[in-house]
Amino acid sequence: MTAPTSRPLSPHLTIWKWGPHMLVSILHRTTGSALTFAGLALLTWWLLAIASGAPAYEQFVAIATHPLGFVVMIGLTWAFWQHFFSGLRHLFMDMGAGYELKTNKLFAVLTIAASLFATAATWFILVGVNR
Amino acid sequence: MSMGKSATPLGKVRGLGPAGHGGGHWIEERFTSVVLVLLSLWLLFSLMMLPALDRATLVEWLRAPAGAVPMALFVIAAFKHGLDGVKVVVDDYVHAEGNRIATHFVLSMAAIGGAALSLFALAKIAFGAVAQ
């Protein structure tokens, strides 16, 4: 299908007043893309480093525990939780529920609150409790 | 692909949409998402519960079936779900059909390659082919 030229265009981002549901919808795509490209690359590298031997794993740890490495890992953790909760919201909405304006907005706000809380909790446990 | 006059409502919509299809892909994406709810929580809680994250601990964890099997399933589901997801983004923003198919091809190769590398590494660990 070539780009349709004669069909009307939907009013785009710039003319709408932003709301939490729009933000969460876009975040679902950006976090999903980030998890796919950066997250899966990191997963592959991590598994290969473990399989390759001690020097390769030490190199992985050295880069991962660099301040920038923490920024990436914490960022991906937040991306994971945001996509996770937003994904649950989508599964719920796929059943045809939660489209009422107030409910929809409330669940959108809740995914953001939950993802921030879960990210903090994850790193608190990863850094604080175990090691 | 039926556009225009058709006998049934289904026939009218079949083949429409940016992907030229959709139902099957949509269901598969939901299927892997539900699987990943379970497996990603398993992975995260496993990493939290391990006594340490040094290599010896990770090798021991991934050598046991309880570590290796869910991890293999996670790798497969995560690459499949990630590929399905970015394909939808591509369908929405890449309008020229040739570019769309070429982008799908490149993304599919990257996903299959990444999944194969991950599974190879995991198998090597699980079957004891690496030093502890």
Full 3-state SS string of A97-126: CCCCHHHHHHHHHHHHHHHHHHHHHHHHHH
B20, B79, B124: residue with CB nearest A1? B20
What's the pLDDT score for residue A48?
A: 97
**Contact (CB, 8 A) for B128 and B65:** no
- Residues B81 and B28: their CA atoms lie apart, in Å, by 8
The CA-based angle B94-B97-B99, given to 5 degrees, is 60
Residues of A in contact with B97 (CB under 8 A): 1-2
B113 CB-side CA count, 13 A: 9
Average pLDDT over residues B53-66: 96
Residues of A in contact with B68 (CB under 8 A): none
B36 CB-side CA count, 13 A: 24
| Chain A interface mutation, best of B1, B39, B40, highest count of A Cβ atoms under 10 Å | B40
What's the pLDDT score for residue B11?
A: 77
pTM greater than 0.80: yes
Region at A9 (left for phi over 0; alpha for psi -120 to 50; beta for the rest): beta
**Over 80: is that where the pLDDT of B31 sits?**
yes
**Over 70: is that where the pLDDT of B116 sits?**
yes
pLDDT digits (tens, 9 = 90+) for B71-106: 999 999 999 999 999 999 999 999 899 999 999 999
B40, B79, B129: residue with CB nearest A80? B40
Q: Tell me which of A33-37, A97-101, B2-6, B24-28 is least confident.
A: B2-6
**Over 70: is that where the pLDDT of B1 sits?**
no
Copy the structure tokens of residue B127: 């079957």
Position B2 confidence tier, pLDDT thresholds 50, 70, 90: very low
What's the pLDDT score for residue A53?
A: 93
Q: Closest-CA residue in chain B for A1?
A: B97
This model of the complex carries an ipTM of: 0.87
Alpha helix (H) ranges present in B50-96?
A: 55-63, 65-93
B33, B79, B129: residue with CB nearest A40? B79
Q: At a CB cut-off of 8 Å and minimum separation 6, what does B7 contact?
A: none
Q: For each of chain A's 131 residues, which pLDDT tens digit applies? A: 455 567 777 767 677 778 898 999 999 999 999 999 999 999 999 999 999 999 999 999 999 999 999 999 999 999 999 999 999 999 999 999 888 989 999 999 999 999 999 999 999 998 876 55
